[in-house]
Structures are given as C-alpha cells and as structure tokens.
Chain A
Amino acid sequence: MLRYLIKRLGQTVFTLFAVTVIVFGLGRMTGDPATVLMPVEARQEDRARIMELWGLDQPLHVQYLRYIGNVLRGEFGDSLQWPGRDALELVLLRIGNTLELGLVALLFAVALAVPIGVFSAVYKNSAIDHVGKFIALLGQSLPHFWIGIVFIWIFAVNLRWLPTSGRGTWQHLIMPAVVIGWFQVAALMRLIRSAMLESLDSEYIKLARLKGVRERIVIWKHALRNAAIVPLTYFGIMIAYLVVGSITTEVVFSWPGVGLLVVNAVTARDFPVVQAVTIVFAFVIVLANLVVDVLYGVFDPRIRFE
C-alpha cells in the first residue's frame, strides 16, 4: 500500500510538471512573449511587471526555472482585468463556489446512478434496464451547454419554478448541478450495472441467500459493496469531468465560480488568471485522483493489507 502510494505520488508530480511545461510553452510559442501574454491595450506598467516577474528577457531555460519558482510560490502575477488583484487570490476566492456546485452535482449523479444501475442489473432486460440504457445514450449525446439553456427556458422562463442564473439560494443550485451531474449519471450507471451483474452472479451471493439473508440485504449490502469498488476507480476521471463540465455550465448559469472566471479571463486575454486557473484545476484533479486511490484501499480490504 505504501509503495503503491509513493508510486502514485510520483506520477502526480510528473503530471503537474507536464501541465506547467504546457502552459509555459504555450505562453511563449510565438515570437515576443510580452505581446502574446498581454493584450494590446495593456498598460505600460503591467507590461513591465510581467516582463520582470517571468524574466522575459532571459534565455528560455532560465525563464522556465523562474516560472516554476513563481508557480511554486503561488505567484502568477496580478490580474490584467482587475489591476492590483492577485491572480491566484481571484481563483481561490471563487474555487469554493465551483467545488460547491461540483459536490452537489456529484451527489445528484450518485443518487441517481446507483439505484438505476442496481435495478438495471437486478431486473436485467426489464423496463427499468431499457430506461437506463436510454439515459446512458442521452448522457453521451446531449451537449450540456445547450441542455442548460433549454432548462432555463423551460423551468425558469416559462414555468418560473427556478431562478434563471446566479448563486444564492438552494434553488439556484438545482439546474446547474443537474446539468453537470447528468453526464456522470450515464457512465456511472453503466459501470455499476456491469459490476452488479458480475457480483450478483458470484458464489458469495449464493451463500448469502443460502444463509437466509433478506434479498434487500443481499443486493444492497453484499452485492453493491463489492460492485462499488469498480466505479470507485472511475471517480478520479469523474471529478475531472465535473471540473470541465463546470466551465461551460458556470457560463450558462452565470455561476460565480472558477469556470466563469477563466472564460472571462480568456476573453479579456488576462493570461495570469488563465494560468492560475489551469494550474489550480490540474492540482485539484490530480489530488482527487490521489484521494480516490487511497479510498480504493479502504473499500477493498484485499488491497488494504497488501
């Protein structure tokens, strides 16, 4: 377990390193980095500050070392959109909102995918199984930026059940969370279904039934606990998709999170903020994957004791 964790930690560092290289490389892809990194209308003092912060007059490898040093210290420079505001600070101010949305979306996805997945396996080829397959197909195919707008039109504009956009009450959370979570439902449900089918076919399920255990407990304790191990490995990827999904969805619903921040920053060519968001997102995703790996051990005693 410990050796495994150390190995995973190594991979994590490698991924983060690669992200910094990509961001660094892209920032300096064409000729004069100062013009690339700065909007044309940027003020002279901003330009000078960036030149100094990133050492843009130095050779490339020195620039990278300097860059990595700045990233490690969390210094991405000031935002160009909002002069005087530190880029990382802007991100950290909003990351809570994004995580809040992501967490609710995750809960929604699990709350929907687990029962559908379990029942599709228990009642294979029944109506619920077909409904589940249809949900999975829709989940793969619907563009979520569009579904969000359709939801707004139906539930906010016409029915007036929910607020159109923004953050505030719990009602504000419903539509964006459903839109983001919807896409996870499809994949998660399918994983749970196939894992449950395998689990239900096993000898330990037979033995549990032979013990006279109630069918409810056979399914929800014995079968699901084993079947849950497989989808758990998917959670890392799922969190990445939640982060990604949050970008378009935050724009659709004007949710004041990191996604909306970064899209606005791109439009304003506010490169320090874009960099800060990218690094923070990469960090969150990588960290989530690491946590999932640890959880994996907790859920599966066979790994825990290795």
Chain B
Amino acid sequence: MREAQASAVGAGPTRARLAWRWLRELPLLPIAIILVVLVIPAIFAEYLAPHNPYSGSLRARLQPPAFLGGPSEFLLGTDHQGRDIFSRIIFGSRISIAVAGAGILIGGSIGTTLGLIAGYFRGVAETIVTRLVDLTLSIPAILVALVVAAAIGARFTTVVAIVALVLWAVYARQVRAEALKWAQSDFVARARVAGASHFRIIVRHILPNIANTLIVLSTLQVGFVIVFEGSLSFLGVGIPRPNPAWGLMVADGRIHVVSAWWIAFFPGLAIMLTVLSVNMLGDWLRDRLDPKLTQV
C-alpha cells in the first residue's frame, strides 16, 4: 500500500512537470496569431463578419479603413465593389483552411502510402516511385496550374488537385527514407518472424514511428499551400471570383494600389501573418519532434 502510494507520487509530478514544460515552451505568439487570423474566423465567420462578403453597395466603394477616417462600419475599408474587406478576410480564411486541409490530406495520404510501399518493399516499386518523385519535383506546379486553367478552367477542386500533385512527392520522398530505415529495424524483423503480415507490419509497426515526421512535415506544408493557393488565385488560375480568397483580393487591389492601397494590403497581411506563424510553429515542432528532418 505504502509502496503503491510512493510510486504514484513519484510518477505523478514528473509526467505533469514534463507536460508543463511542454506547455510553457509552446510558441504562444504564433499559436495566438494562427487562432485569431485563421482558425477562429473560419469557424465563426457568420457571427464575426459584420457584412455580407459577396455583395456591397456601389455607393460605399473604395472607402478607407475606419481608423484612417473612413466610415466606422468598415473596419478595414471597402473594395471597388463596395464590399467590406474585413468580412471578406474573415470568410477567406475558410478557403485557405479548406485548400490546405484537403490538399495536405489527399497529397499526404497518397504520398505516405506510396512512400511506405517504396521504402518497405523496395525493388521495382521503389524505382518507379523515386522516378516519379524526381519528375514531379522538377516540373514547377504553377505551370501545371496554368495549363489546367487554360484547358478545363480553374475551380476549387482543380486547385486542391494541383496542391495534392505537388505534395504527394514531398511526402513520398520523406516517408520512403524513413520507412527504409524502420523496415531494417529489429522489431520489424521480430514481427516478421512472428508471422505478421506485410500490411500489419506497415500499419502497426512502421507508421506509428513516422507519425512525428508526418506531423512536422504537414505543419511545414500549411504555409506553402496557403502562399501557393494565394499565388494561383492572384493569377486568376486558382479559386474563381467572387469568392473571397485572400490571393484574389490582393489581385483585385493591385490596380487600385494608387488610390486604395488597403484593398490589397490587408488580405496579403493575413496571408503573411498566418504563414509566418505556421512556419514558426513548424520549426518549433521540428526541433522538438524530429530534429533529423531536413529542410523541406
């Protein structure tokens, strides 16, 4: 009885202290920015946005931000169609999250699966996968996006597909290297002797070991995807109008930069803050979870 108590007391504080240390070292500023600029607006857009993001009144067009002498109802001013920029940025966060989430989920799943197969089974599969990875990474995705837009038009689905097309290769390359390493480990050898199936070994023994790599990799990709989607939308080959995609809003503001700089400035600022924060979080996670992961 006394022993049990002692051990419980002994184990309790250490685990709590470890968790506390983790919490205390969390990069609070980046996390706060991600929550305020990206996550909270995306969830509560209907409640937070003071105006309709899709329609405005032409009488209220090109109004400067409230703090620069504009009407108090438009916090960040209005665009050339009189739409409230603040509301559009809030709704735009949904697009960024959706593209990043869907793109990373699809590209990541495909890439991880192919990387596992290549790294575990080696042989022809590995040759084919590595060739395809090299090929994919040598063709700039933006060119593919341009051709797609010209051929079949740009939509949400094509943007996600193009993002996934780039990302699968990044995942496959990294996962293959990891799977290769774990496939030669002792516990995989033991599982094999014990008669575990290939599928079971991959899912139960190798996948959990590369989970950290996948978390870090995915965090670092969020920033890339948001900037990439922004670039495509800016060029008119990404999310179509009149959606409030941040990149599109920057494009709308470009021709008005002389008279109404705020149209382009604030959506771009949202992209920058989000991406900067996500990258800082990603660097922090990499240092904690997977210091070996090379710059990707």
Contact = CB atoms under 8 A, between A and B. Distances in A.
Interface residues of B, number: 43
Contact of A248 (B234, B258, B271): B234
A146 B227 CA distance: 10
Contacts of B140: 240-241, 243-244, 281, 285
Interface string A248-278: 1001100000000011011101110011011
Interface stretch (A11-19, A115-123, A197-205, A297-305): A11-19
Contacts of B271: 143, 146
B253 interface: yes
A275 B147 contact: yes
- The prevalent SS among residues of B at the interface is helix
B194 interface: no
A252 B147 CA distance: 20
B207 to A, nearest CB: 29
A149 B143 contact: no
Interface in B229-277: 230-231, 234-237, 247, 250-251, 253-254, 257-258, 261, 264-265, 267-268, 271-272, 275-276
A22 interface: yes
A267 B143 CA distance: 14
A141 B275 contact: yes
Nearest to B262: A153
Given A247-B142, A267-B236, A141 B272 contact: yes
A124 B269 CA distance: 32
Given A18-B139, A143-B231, A149-B264, A274 B146 contact: yes
A285 B138 contact: yes
A26 B147 contact: yes
Contact of B142 (A15, A150, A244, A269): A244
A235 B58 CA distance: 49
A243 B134 CA distance: 18
Contacts of A252: 254
A76 to B, nearest CB: 13
Given A19-B139, A247-B235, A190 B150 contact: no
Interface string A279-294: 0011001100100000
B146 to A, nearest CB: 5
Classify chain A: how many residues form its interface, as a range: 35 or more
A278 B138 contact: no
Contacts of B139: 15, 18-19, 22, 282, 285
B223 interface: yes
B148 interface: yes
Contacts of B235: 145, 247-248, 251, 263, 266
Given A137-B276, A143-B247, A265 B150 contact: yes
B5 interface: no
A36 interface: yes
- The prevalent SS among residues of A at the interface is helix
A6 interface: no
Contacts of A271: 150-151
Contacts of B234: 143, 145, 248, 251
Nearest to A264: B236
Contacts of B279: 137, 140-141
Contacts of B4: none
Contacts of B276: 137-138, 141
B235 to A, nearest CB: 5
B266 to A, nearest CB: 10
A212 to B, nearest CB: 37
B280 interface: yes
Contacts of A274: 146-147, 150
Nearest to B134: A11
Contacts of A140: 223, 275, 279
Contact of A263 (B146, B151, B275): B146
Given A22-B144, A29-B151, A149-B253, A157 B275 contact: no
Contacts of B151: 26-27, 29, 36-37, 271
A48 interface: no
B199 to A, nearest CB: 31
Interface string A135-160: 00110111111110110110001000
12 contacts: A15-B135, A143-B272, A145-B251, A146-B267, A146-B271, A149-B253, A150-B265, A240-B140, A247-B146, A247-B235, A263-B236, A278-B147
Given A140-B279, A145-B268, 9 more contacts: A15-B138, A29-B152, A141-B272, A143-B231, A143-B271, A145-B250, A266-B149, A271-B151, A278-B146
Would you list the 8 A-B pairs with minimal beta carbon distance, nearest first?
Answer: A146-B268, A141-B276, A274-B150, A141-B275, A145-B234, A244-B140, A26-B151, A266-B150
Interface of A: 11, 14-15, 18-19, 22-23, 26-27, 29-30, 36-37, 137-138, 140-147, 149-150, 152-153, 157, 164, 190, 240-241, 243-244, 247-248, 251-252, 262-263, 265-267, 269-271, 274-275, 277-278, 281-282, 285-286, 289
